[in-house]
Structures are given as C-alpha cells and as structure tokens.
Amino acid sequence: MTSAETLAIPSVETAKTVNAPRPFYWSIRRELWEHRSILFAPATVAAAIIVVAIARINYFTLLIENGYKGPNLAVLMFLVAAGLVIITASLTGIFYSLDALLSERRDRSVLFWKSLPVSDRTTVLSKAIIPMAVLPAVAFAVSVAMHILLLLIFSVALLILRQPLSGFWSQLPFFQIQVFVLYVIVTCTLWYAPIYGWLLLVSSISRRAALVWAVVPFVAAVGLERFASRTEYVGRWLQHRFAGGLQAAFHYATQQHGEVGLKDATPVLYLASPGLWMGLAAFAIFLFLCIRIRRFQGPI
C-alpha cells in the first residue's frame, strides 16, 4: 500500500463519520414529506384570513370612521385569527395521529421502513413529535407571520383615512399577543398529549376506521354509566380533559365579561395541576405500547 493510499483512508472514514445518517431527524423529514398537510393546512387558513382582511378593508375603515377609539377590535381580530390557526393545527394533529401508524400498514410500506436501520422506537417517537412539537411550532410561526401582515393591512386602512399610526401602534400590544398565543399553544399541546397518544395507539392496532375505534369506547362508557348508575363521572372526566387545560392555564374568576389576557395566566397552577402530569404519564404509556405493538406487527 502506497503512502498516498494510506493517507486517503482516514479522510474517507472521517467523511463517512461526518455524513452518518441521523435516523430520528430523517424520520421526521419523512413524515413531513408524506404528510404535506402538516405545513399547508395552517398556512392555508392563515392565507384565507389575510384574503378576507384585504377584501373587508373598507369595512374596517368604516368602523374607524364611525367611532373606532382603541385597539380592542384589532386585538380581538388578532386573537380570533390565531385561534383559527391553532384549531386547524390541532385538527391536523388529530387526523395525522389517527393515520400515522395505520397508513404504513395499509399500503404495506411498513415492510420497507422496517428493512431500514431505524428502530421502532425512533419511528414511533418521530411520529409522536409531529403533533407535540412540529405542528405547534408551525402554528406559532404561521400565526406570527399572519399577525404581521394583518398589522400592515390595518395600518394601510389608517393611512387611507389619514389617521395617525403612532397611537394605534403604541396601544396595540403586539408582542404581548404573541406571548399569549405561544402560551396557549404550549399549554394546550401538553394538556392534549394523552389524546394524541391514544390516537397513535388506536392507529397502531386498528385495521380500518381508526376514528370509530378511537371514539366508540368513550361513547359506550358514557352511555353505560348513565344507564347503570345515572352518574356522569366519565363525561365530566372527558370534559376536564378537553377543557381543563385552559382552565388550569388561566384564572377566570376575576373576569367580568369573559375577557382573558396574558395578565390572567397562571403557569404555576398549570404546572401543579395533577391532570397535566397524569396526562403526560398516560402519553408515555401509550407511546411505549405503540413501540411494542409495531415491533410485532406487519402489513394489513
């Protein structure tokens, strides 16, 4: 072996080490490639809101001419617009979770993915990270971009009326709105973690109609409880799981007109809520079961 060949070997090995594949990263990229709605759904809703805002800009200027005296209307529009984006991202996460482990068994692509050097744990965690981190991040980024565009649209409306922009910009709590939206996204995502985990588990064991299998057990439990004991413990537990996150994240008692803002956030009480940690524990159990089930399952 020549000295040149000897010197070339370490460089090749170094290149292979540097370019070694990252299974978890590329598994997430795979999910984004296969499920384009993860990115497109929130962006599409935001684009529709922008179009409506532009189309109704005359209506906005008319409100200003008829006595608009503060940023409350704009704040309300900002929060409603962000709420629509968040709801869209949540629904996207629900339907994604229902299909994540079912579709690969239905189209038999699970055989190909299992032939790759990627563990079942990596695959399941990459699917769980989509509704728990990727979609919330997309929702927040889209919401911020949409709010910036809405702020420009409202500013144009003021310029059309030859109204000063300084008062509007100084009174509109733009940064606080973004913090409020981020707080809502984080608290809701963590609170709904067991829901996503349950849907992933149903997706891993069902052969078809995953939505039916995910809902029927709870509907049956509510019906049987009411028929057998005339109580509503299961229904109240479900209500707490769906609505309890915001109730723990904000203090409603001081509100007289239903207005809740960043000043009413209670992160300490939220983090101390037993429902949060019980839900995260259930989420971890569901993921563990998904990993175990996928290890022994093949295509449908």
Give pLDDT tens digits along the chain (300 positions). 444 444 444 444 444 433 445 888 888 888 888 888 888 999 999 999 999 988 887 776 666 555 555 446 777 888 899 999 999 999 999 999 998 888 877 877 777 777 777 788 888 999 999 999 999 999 999 999 999 998 888 888 778 777 767 766 777 788 999 999 999 999 999 999 999 999 999 998 888 888 888 998 888 888 888 888 878 888 888 888 888 888 888 876 444 455 566 777 888 889 999 999 999 999 999 999 999 988 877 666
Q: Tell me the Ramachandran region of residue 31: left when phi exceeds 0, alpha when psi lies from -120 to 50, beta otherwise.
A: alpha
Both tokens assigned to 156: 């144009």
Is residue 24 situated within a structural domain? no
Is residue 191 situated within a structural domain? yes
| Secondary structure letter of residue 116 according to DSSP | S
In a 10 Å sphere around its CB, with 0-12 CB exposed, 13-18 middle and 19+ buried, how is residue 142 labelled? Answer: buried
* pLDDT number for residue 298: 65
Is residue 61 situated within a structural domain? yes
Is residue 16 situated within a structural domain? no
- From the list 77, 69, 61, 124, the residue with the least C-alpha distance to 297 is 124
* pLDDT number for residue 64: 56
- From the list 178, 182, 173, 102, the residue with the least C-alpha distance to 136 is 182
Scan for tokens 């479900």, then name that residue. Answer: 238
Is residue 13 situated within a structural domain? no
Range of the domain at 255: 38-296
* pLDDT number for residue 11: 43
If DSSP codes are grouped into helix, strand and coil, which group holds residue 265?
Answer: strand
Is residue 176 situated within a structural domain? yes
- From the list 35, 26, 137, 50, the residue with the least C-alpha distance to 92 is 35
* pLDDT number for residue 19: 44
Is residue 21 situated within a structural domain? no
Is residue 8 situated within a structural domain? no
* pLDDT number for residue 63: 63
* pLDDT number for residue 24: 82
* Structural domain total, the chain: 1
